[in-house]
A and B are shown apart, each in its own frame.
Chain A
Amino acid sequence: MNQCYEIGIKSFVLVGITAFILGLVLVMQSRPTMMEFGAGSFLPAMSSISIVREIGPLVTALICAGKIGSGISAELGSMKVTEQIDAMEVSGTNPFKYLVATRIIATTLMIPILTVYADFISLIGAFTGSNIKDDVNLHFYVNRVFEALHFTDIGPSFTKTFFFGFTIGLVGCTKGYNSKKGTEGVGKAANISVVVAMVGVIIIDMVVTQITSMLGYL
């Protein structure tokens, strides 16, 4: 519960702000090109598909990899170098169960929920972006957004967020749990865990996209 709170609620504001800005910027950047082709009315559809399929899950995962992955790694690393984990092992408590499993489960469960929030907030940002230069009705916007979306868009993107969460938790815990060389090692472990988690997230994203494409959903 505590880990869920730390991962979910404490990352919400950061994820929310980032998602809102990305939705807004996506529409503002795409609008001139779309208007050039006379396809301005397709902006809601384009933004919804982009956000739900890719931007929402990936941005959430990358932010969480940076914030949560590094946090987990640093926390476990400092516990390791201060021999707290060794003390737990001596006292008969399984540190893997109490420190690692809880964090991995928390990231695996919280990142999909954060992604749902990120998608909605990003769509609100896109709606705001559409209304900066155009006058788009909310009803029309919602209709166009959900008309463009299909379960083949939501299913794979939602599924991959579980893998993202699992990867972030696993990498953070692994790097933190195995950190060495005192406080310097903690910093290094945090740094490496962020890099590895981000690369891992992007590789998983690529694999899921490839599988989705092979199944004919793209």
Chain B
Amino acid sequence: MDKVIRKNILLGFFVFIGLILFIVGIFLVGAKSEMFKKTFTITAKFSNATGLKAGSNVRYNGVKVGIVKSVTLINDTLVQVDLQIEEVKRGFIHNTAVASIASDGLMGDKIVNISPGKSEGEVVKNNEIVQVQNPLIIDQVMLTLSKSNENIKVITENLKALTSDIVSNNGTVQSLYKDTLMAMNLKKSFSNLDAITGKVLVVSNTLQQVTAQIQHGNGLLSEVINDTGLANNLAYTMDKLKETSDELIKVSGNLNKTVQSANTGKGALNMLLSDTTLSSNVQQSIINIKKASVGLNENMEALKHNFLTRGYFRKQEKKLKKELKKEQAGK
């Protein structure tokens, strides 16, 4: 009887330990699958979620914070990935965070990596949609590489043709490569270029000094550049000059009209300018006036000596002398 009890106890112990091990295993696997932790869900929408599946790890800056809850195709271009995140890690994830799909090691499973956003935002809420950075699609990368390879092939073929052409023909490049005279000339050209650059350097230094003087000096140019009052005066002068030139244009316009009318019209001026008879008459009149004035002078002189008018002229002379004396006394 004791033996049976011993067997039963041993069997019970065996089964009990087996069940404990099984439960511990279940608990450990469940703990890794976030089954026994308080969690919340956020969503990321990717254009491509290759390799991602429910249960894949979610890391925040490389630290595991949860798992992928589900991967659902919502339309022809978007895949919705629900992420189950531990509640205690909520404080670290803000709504500016960016989710991306990465590999866990070189050969590892796909994971979702959440990185902090560029700006500080609010703490992420339940079922909030976070920004995503779509993964590189290997096929597309390979396609681009394939095109690059084709281009490289074409370039190398061209280079090959170019180099063989250089070697076989007596072109400029081959001359450059083999002709010693050209090399000497080039050397000279370079030395001349060197000298020119030295001079250019000196000129630029001088220019620099001049500009510095203009900036800090008291010269006219400096005043023109720096003095706002002078600038205002100059502007005023320019305005006035503009007005004057406008007036001049008007005057010249009027003058032009006058000249035209003088040329085309029938007035005295036109006759004076164009009629030769009138001009000769005017000339004759002027000669006559001259003669008349000479005669008038003789007559006046005769009047000065006439006994009737002589007194008047003397009075006039005395009056003039008095006025001259007064002016001299005043000075």
Chain B's interface size range is: 20 to 34
> Smallest CB–CB gap between B268 and chain A, Å?
118
Q: Is B92 an interface residue (CB 8 A)?
A: no
B18: which of A1, A117, A150 is its contact (CB, 8 Å)? A117
Determine how close the nearest CB of chain A comes to the CB of B10; give it in whole angstroms. Answer: 6
**B29 to chain A: which residues have CB within 8 Å?**
146, 149-151, 154
- Which residues of chain B come closer than 8 Å to A38, judged between CB atoms? 106-107
A126 to B11, CA, bound (A): 27
Contact with A along B2-45 (1 / 0, CB 8 A): 00000110110011011101100110111111000000000000
23 contacting pairs across A/B (C-beta < 8 A): A4-B15, A5-B8, A5-B11, A8-B11, A8-B14, A9-B10, A12-B14, A37-B107, A38-B106, A41-B105, A42-B105, A113-B14, A113-B15, A114-B18, A117-B21, A146-B25, A146-B28, A147-B57, A150-B29, A151-B29, A151-B30, A154-B26, A154-B29
A42-B107 contact given A113-B19, A116-B21, A120-B21, CB 8 Å threshold = yes
Asked if residues A39 and B107 are in contact (CB atoms below 8 Å), the reply is: yes
Contact B32 A147 (CB under 8 A): yes
Residue B91 is within 8 A (CB to CB) of chain A in the complex? no
Per the bound structure, the CA–CA distance linking A158 and B80 in Å amounts to: 32
Task: Tell me, in angstroms, the Cα distance from A150 to B105 when the chains sit together.
Answer: 20
Which of under 10, 10 to 19, 20 to 34, or 35 or more describes the interface residues of A?
20 to 34
Q: Report the bound CA distance from A203 to B25 in whole Å.
A: 27
CB pair B18 A113 closer than 8 Å: yes
Residues of A within 8 A of B (CB): 1-2, 4-5, 8-9, 12, 37-39, 41-42, 113-114, 116-117, 119-120, 142, 146-147, 149-151, 154, 158
> Which residues does chain B contribute within 8 Å of A8, judged by CB atoms?
11, 14-15
Instruction: Please tell me if the beta carbons of A9 and B8 are within 8 angstroms of each other in the complex.
Output: no
Confirm or deny: B108 has a beta carbon within 8 angstroms of a beta carbon on chain A.
yes
Contact, CB under 8 Å: B22 / A116: yes
Contact B25 A116 (CB under 8 A): yes
Q: Check if B107 sits within 8 Å of A154, measured CB to CB.
A: no
- Shortest beta-carbon distance from A104 to chain B in Å: 17
- CB A170 to nearest CB in B, in angstroms, measures 22
Q: Shortest distance in angstroms between A150's beta carbon and chain B's nearest beta carbon?
A: 5
Instruction: Give the complex CA separation of A168 and B113 in angstroms.
Output: 48
Bound-complex Cα distance A113 to B13 (A): 12
Q: Nearest B residue to A2 by beta-carbon distance?
A: B7
Whether the Cβ atoms of B25 and A9 lie closer than 8 Å is no
Select from chain B the residue with minimum beta-carbon distance to A34: B107
With A8-B14, A151-B29, A158-B22 already in contact, 20 other A-B pairs whose C-beta atoms are closer than 8 Å? A1-B8, A2-B7, A4-B15, A5-B8, A9-B14, A38-B107, A41-B105, A113-B18, A113-B19, A116-B22, A117-B18, A119-B25, A120-B21, A120-B25, A146-B28, A146-B29, A149-B28, A149-B29, A150-B29, A154-B29
**Set of chain B residues within 8 Å of A146, measured between Cβ atoms:** 25, 28-29, 31-32
Q: A215 → chain B, closest Cβ, in Å? A: 13
B residues in contact with A4, CB < 8 Å: 11, 15
Shortest beta-carbon contacts, A-B, top 5: A113-B18, A146-B28, A116-B22, A5-B11, A149-B29
- A12-B10 Cα distance, complex, nearest whole Å: 12
Any A CB within 8 A of the CB of B55: yes
Contacts of B22 in A (CB 8 A): 113, 116, 158
Complex contacts, B57 vs chain A, CB 8 Å: 147
The closest CB in chain B to the CB of A8 belongs to B14
Across-interface contacts of A114 in B (CB, < 8 A): 18
CA distance A4 to B10 in the complex (A): 11
Q: Are B7 and A5 closer than 8 Å at their CB atoms?
A: yes
A140 to B11, CA, bound (A): 33
Provide the bound-state CA to CA distance between A9 and B10, in Å: 8
Which of B26, B28, B29 has most chain A Cβ within 10 Å?
A: B29
Q: Give A149 to B11 CA distance when docked, in angstroms.
A: 29
Contact B33 A150 (CB under 8 A): yes
Contact assessment for A5 and B10 in the assembled complex, using a CB-CB cutoff below 8 Å: yes
In the bound complex, what is the Cα–Cα distance between A158 and B22 (angstroms)?
10
